[in-house]
């Protein structure tokens, strides 16, 4: 076979992720930027809550791109999921480009039926808060029929 199955995240799914993530950010009281990318790390949707800081826009999009392209949660890990020391946690994003790879929490791959269809990235809070907001978006998508 010379083709493979490719699922695509559409606007309805993107919007569900964004709406749930914004709701979670408001619940915890942290202004956030939230980005959703497709499987090729192209922007599908973005939201910035009231009082979200402008510099968090680029961080959220970088986290979403990294999660989509690496197909793994962002954090202090390499492309194979291996732990990184401090030197490599700095070197890897510099080599890949800081807009494409980050080594801090808040980016999650969007997996549907075993396929990575994109990534969601959040920025504005502590790593655990960013991760909780991203996870709320994925949970909303998973609850769709």
Give the range of the structural domain holding residue 51, as residue numbers without chain letter. Answer: 11-142
| Model pLDDT for residues 105-116, shown as the tens digit of each residue | 999 999 999 999
For residue 123, the cross-strand partners are 33
In a domain, 115, yes or no: yes
Closest CA to 52 of 137, 124, 131, 132: 124
pTM for this model (two decimals): 0.93
In a domain, 137, yes or no: yes
Per the structure, the count of domains in the chain is: 1
Average pLDDT estimate for 61-70? 95
**Mean pLDDT of all residues belonging to the chain:** 93
Neighbours of 95 (CB within 10 A): 10
Please count the CA atoms within 13 angstroms of the CA of 129 that sit on its side-chain side.
Answer: 15
In a domain, 83, yes or no: yes
In a domain, 4, yes or no: no
Which CATH number is 126's domain given? Answer: 3.30.450.150
């Amino acid at each position: 076979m010379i083709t493979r199955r490719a699922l695509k995240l559409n606007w309805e799914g993107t919007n569900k992720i964004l709406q749930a993530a914004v709701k979670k950010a408001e619940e915890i009281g942290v202004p956030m930027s939230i980005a959703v990318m497709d499987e090729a790390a192209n922007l599908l949707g973005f939201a910035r809550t009231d009082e979200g800081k402008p510099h968090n826009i680029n961080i959220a999009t970088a986290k979403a791109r990294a999660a989509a392209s690496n197909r793994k949660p962002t954090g202090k890990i390499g492309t194979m999921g291996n732990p990184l020391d401090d030197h490599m946690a700095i070197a890897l994003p510099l080599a890949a480009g800081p807009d494409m790879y980050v080594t801090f929490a808040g980016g999650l791959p969007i997996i549907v039926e075993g396929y990575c269809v994109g990534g969601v990235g959040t920025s504005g809070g502590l790593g655990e808060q960013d991760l909780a907001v991203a996870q709320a978006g994925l949970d909303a998508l998973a609850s769709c029929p």
